[in-house]
Amino acid sequence: MVKKEIKTEMKKKVSAKSSKSGTVKQIPAGRVYVTATFNNTLVTLTDHQGNTVGWSSSGASGFKGARKATPFAAITAIESLANKARSVGMNMVEVYIKGPGPGRDAAIRALRSSGLNISMIADVTPVPYNGPRAKKKRRV
């Protein structure tokens, strides 16, 4: 008796998921997080609550090895993300950039040329306020 109830509950859950996946939410504004490392450029698209809508990276765009760390690879990652943004109806974004990599300037240029309106650009690169551990004292 208990097994039958569990099976019927599972069937209900599966049918509810399939009906949800058919609809696409329209999100007018969101945020783009660009993480530019020395080896890759990661880009995440979220709504204002922080829920991820889509993501892309230089590696996901088909680049391997040292070519992932180029500005051109960052541009292709941004272009694929801009297509996802347009598919959900997004036209206004805030940009948060983190990291010192070569794709950081190219990412902003690619976002401007993709047709998305940029309302704000913020650099959120973490800066150490205390620095690394000091060298040990010299003993003579």
The CATH H-level superfamily of 27-123 is Ribosomal protein S11/S14 (3.30.420.80)
pLDDT (0 to 100) of residue 138: 92
pLDDT (0 to 100) of residue 18: 40
Residue listed under structure tokens 């993480």 = 35
Hey, what are 23's tokens?
Answer: 């609809």
In the chain, where the domains are located: 27-123
Q: State mean pLDDT over 70-90.
A: 92
3 state DSSP class of 137: coil
CB atoms within 10 A of CB 67: 12
pLDDT exceeds cutoff 90 at 2: no
pLDDT digits (tens, 9 = 90+) for 85-124: 999 999 999 999 999 999 899 999 999 999 899 999 999 9
Helix and strand numbers (H, E) in the chain are: 3, 5
pLDDT (0 to 100) of residue 20: 56
3 state DSSP class of 87: helix
pLDDT digits (tens, 9 = 90+) for 23-59: 777 888 999 999 999 999 999 999 999 999 999 999 9
